Amino acid sequence: MSIFCAPALLAATGLLLAAPRVHAQAAEPPKAAEPPKAAEPPVINVSEEGFTLSSADKAFVLKLRGQLQGDGRFYFADIDRTGTNTFLVRRVRPILDGTLFGFIDFRLMPDFGVNQPIIQDAFIDFRPGEWVRLRAGRFKTPFGLELLQSDMDNPFIERSLTVDLVPNRDEGLELHGEGEGGRWQYSLAVVNGDPDGASTDTNPDDSFDLVARVFALPFKGREPAFLQGLGLGIAVTRGLQFGTATNTGLAPFRSTGQEIIFSYLNNANTGETVTAHGQHLRLAPQGYFYWGSFGLLAEYVRSSQEVRIADARARLRNHAWQTSVSWVFGGKASFEGARPTTPFDPKTLKGGALEVAARYHALDIDDAAFPRFANPAQSVSAASGFGVATTFAFNRRVRFAMNFHRTNYEGGAPDGADRPPENVLMSRFQLTF
């Protein structure tokens, strides 16, 4: 090698040594996919509120509850034997409540009491918020205060004479809701239209009833504390009802002892049958007050209805009212029933609550109903009476009650006499869960 090539060789060697070294690297293995998240198991709960099956996020809920009432009715001084002493199963109600997708509620409640299986409630509630809900199906007409109170919570075994003028359950649509933590409530409904004191399954004519109700607890969560249990409201219904000889659109009225005390003429042989025929209006101011152990409930109902028989027509104006007071020993009174401070303990025989209640109520039939639309020798023109009730609540779900009711009548007997008073003693064992 010549001397002139040495510098070039040294320079090439230096460049080679200074060049970055490239190392061959093995390809990294792909990351293993994360296993899918295990679905959270459903939540099963068994308590006095019933049997509940729900998803972990409570978006889907299924609740099974029930109600069982075993009654006894015993009539005193029943000269004409209008009442029958008997034991009966008053209500047997399996109740299926549920929620779907977190905003759709539903209820299905059949009733197998008194050997007359029927569907009491069957509705769906679309619930985008507490202030607005849309209900569709069969439900209680939002009108009478005492009727809207669950029979599980009523201090009396049977409701007052006001329910003779109150629509019961009906099919339709109801927009309802509440606001400010329950300080105000409203209901607007379109329903087929019930006769007074009854329920319907179908619409016998082409018209519907409009129902509106507002109720407020203005002092709920506010001062003064003793007024927090004050609730006041008013309800109205308006509709056109037209009956036929086979479906009159009218129903009989019953006493506290569940005996028929008034009915419209209905004689298919002669064609002398009274039917609903025209406008039907109802109005019901209502309210209650609960403070500690004390409870007070009052309402007034006025029903104005057009009726017809043959060529005769009339607008009959009937009205009823009631006032009841109650006191709970060992617990608190509320519209949702007596609440024992401590549940009853069978080992120590302590706990539970005793609720004592008294009620006065009255029903007045329009004089224009007699004698063309009702027989004065069979139907009373007025009824009034009082009742006393004692209920021992072992807890919120198990109760035993005893009631005594006396009802006096005007008319309803032959020769213009008054129907004998009704004196009935009633008992009830009740289990709800």
**Residue 114's pLDDT band (cuts 50, 70, 90):** confident
The DSSP bridge pattern shows strands 353-364 and 312-329 to be antiparallel
Q: CA 35 → CA 42, 55, 432, distances in Å?
A: 21, 22, 46
Work out the average pLDDT over 10-20.
39
Three-class secondary structure of residue 79 per DSSP: coil
List, for residues 278-332, the tens digit of each pLDDT value. 999 999 999 999 999 999 999 999 999 999 999 999 999 999 999 999 999 999 9
Asked if residues 235 and 211 have their Cβ atoms less than 8 Å apart, the reply is yes
**Residue 6's pLDDT band (cuts 50, 70, 90):** very low
- Res 204: pLDDT: 81
List, for residues 206-244, the tens digit of each pLDDT value. 899 999 999 999 999 999 999 999 999 999 999 999 999
DSSP state of 269: T
Residue 40 vs residue 146, higher pLDDT: 146
Q: Map out the domains of the chain as residue ranges.
A: 73-92+142-432
The pLDDT of residue 27 is above 80: no
The pLDDT of residue 55 is above 90: yes
- Res 35: pLDDT: 65
**Residue 1's pLDDT band (cuts 50, 70, 90):** very low
- Res 28: pLDDT: 59
Pick from 389, 297, 399: nearest CA to 339:
399
Asked if residues 177 and 271 have their Cβ atoms less than 8 Å apart, the reply is no
- Res 41: pLDDT: 85
Three-class secondary structure of residue 113 per DSSP: helix
Asked if residues 174 and 185 have their Cβ atoms less than 8 Å apart, the reply is no
Work out the average pLDDT over 148-161.
96
Between CA 177 and CA 59 the distance in angstroms is: 20
Between CA 286 and CA 89 the distance in angstroms is: 31
- Res 3: pLDDT: 40
Work out the average pLDDT over 344-357.
95
Rg (CA), the chain: 34
Tokens standing for 324? 């009841």
- Res 201: pLDDT: 84
The pLDDT of residue 389 is above 60: yes
The pLDDT of residue 22 is above 70: no
- Res 115: pLDDT: 79
Which CATH superfamily is 73-92+142-432 part of? Porin (2.40.160.10)
pTM: 0.88
- Exposure string for 52-74, b = 16+ CB within 10 A, e = fewer: bebbeeeebbbbebebbbbbbbb
Work out the average pLDDT over 358-373.
97
If you average pLDDT over every residue of the chain, what do you get? 91
Residues 6+ apart with CB under 8 A from 121: 107, 108, 109, 137, 138, 139, 140, 169
19 phi-psi bin (left φ>0, alpha ψ -120 to 50, beta other): beta
The DSSP bridge pattern shows strands 275-291 and 272-273 to be unpaired
Phi, psi of 276, rounded to the nearest 5 degrees: -65, 135
Work out the average pLDDT over 67-85.
90
Work out the average pLDDT over 175-192.
96
CA terminus-to-terminus distance, the chain: 110
